[in-house]
Amino acid sequence: MCDEELRGGIPLIGDAFPEMEVQTTQGMMKLPEAFKGKWFVLFSHPADFTPVCTTEFVAFQKRSKKFADLNCDLIGLSIDQVFSHIKWVEWIKDNLGVEITFPIIADHGNVAKKMGMIHPNKASNTVRAVFIVDDKAIVRAMIYYPQEVGRSVDEVLRAVDALQMTDQKKVAAPENWPRNELIGDEVIVPPPRDIKTAMSKKKGPSCYDWWFCHKKLGGRI
């Protein structure tokens, strides 16, 4: 039995995003082809017309320009009919003054099952899952929250930013980068691979030890 069968076919970090055709509020779309050359965030919510999900959609929309600045699009999903999505988006605009401009997948359960989004013991409701996919259609991060707890959209945005930065600069991002409690907006450099280099860094001005050195980024993306 292959690894994919053992884990139920759910893509993991480093896997190619599975090809699929989906019905959305902006028409039929082929994923990941629709976002070719771009990063995208696929996020699921338990259901339309629910308070926590509404707060999340407003937050995603208000930060959509920041995602776009990172060459990253947004696409939502729940197991609701497209008519429900359309009406809910209309309600958000009419009552909260926020126009949702990104597409929302109307799933019949196939996508949610394939992506591991079904909430255990909650019928067909989807968990609050987030898949961050890069411009080569590779899954780079996965975040799951239960139905009862809204996620932080700022953290999703930070994760996209950090992934792109580490790709470009070949460094690592510390906790809550770029606002880390120890090193601020600095980044962590790869540890040395030989004893001589390790010992030379042991007492460096930007090192806590040879395995923990940091530096200024020197220009963002």
Specify the CATH number for the domain of residue 182. 3.30.1020.10
Residue 101 CA to residue 103 CA, distance in Å, equals 7
CB 148 within 8 A of CB 157: no
* Residues belonging to the active site: 53
Residue 128 CA to residue 146 CA, distance in Å, equals 6
Residue 121 CA to residue 67 CA, distance in Å, equals 33
What per-residue confidence (pLDDT) applies to 5?
Answer: 40
Whole-angstrom Cα Rg for the chain: 20
If asked whether residues 142 and 71 sit together in one domain, one would say yes
If asked whether residues 125 and 77 sit together in one domain, one would say yes
Residue 29 CA to residue 104 CA, distance in Å, equals 10
221 falls in which pLDDT band (50, 70, 90)?
very low
If asked whether residues 121 and 186 sit together in one domain, one would say no
Taking CA atoms, 61 is separated from 27, 55, 146, in Å, by 19, 10, 21
Instruction: Work out the mean pLDDT of the chain and round it to a whole number.
Output: 91
pLDDT score of 1 more than 60 = no
Q: Give the contacts of 16 (CB within 8 A, at least 6 positions apart).
A: 137, 138, 139
Residue with tokens 């699929």: 20
- With 0-12 / 13-18 / 19 or more C-beta atoms within 10 angstroms meaning exposed / middle / buried, residue 44 is buried
pLDDT score of 173 more than 80 = yes
If asked whether residues 31 and 103 sit together in one domain, one would say yes
Residue 82 CA to residue 25 CA, distance in Å, equals 6
DSSP 8-state class, residue 133: E
Dihedrals φ, ψ of 99, to 5°?
-95, 120
What per-residue confidence (pLDDT) applies to 3?
Answer: 45
> Mean pLDDT, to the nearest integer, of 184-204?
87
* Domain that residue 35 falls in: 3-151
User: How much of the chain, in percent, has pLDDT values that exceed 70?
Assistant: 91
Last residue of a domain, one of 109, 124, 151: 151
Closest CA to 115 of 56, 30, 42: 42
Domain count, the chain: 2
Greater model confidence, 209 or 124: 209
pLDDT score of 22 more than 70 = yes
Of 99-108, 128-137, 140-149, 191-200, the one with minimum mean pLDDT is 191-200
Dihedrals φ, ψ of 209, to 5°?
-165, 175
> Mean pLDDT, to the nearest integer, of 192-219?
85
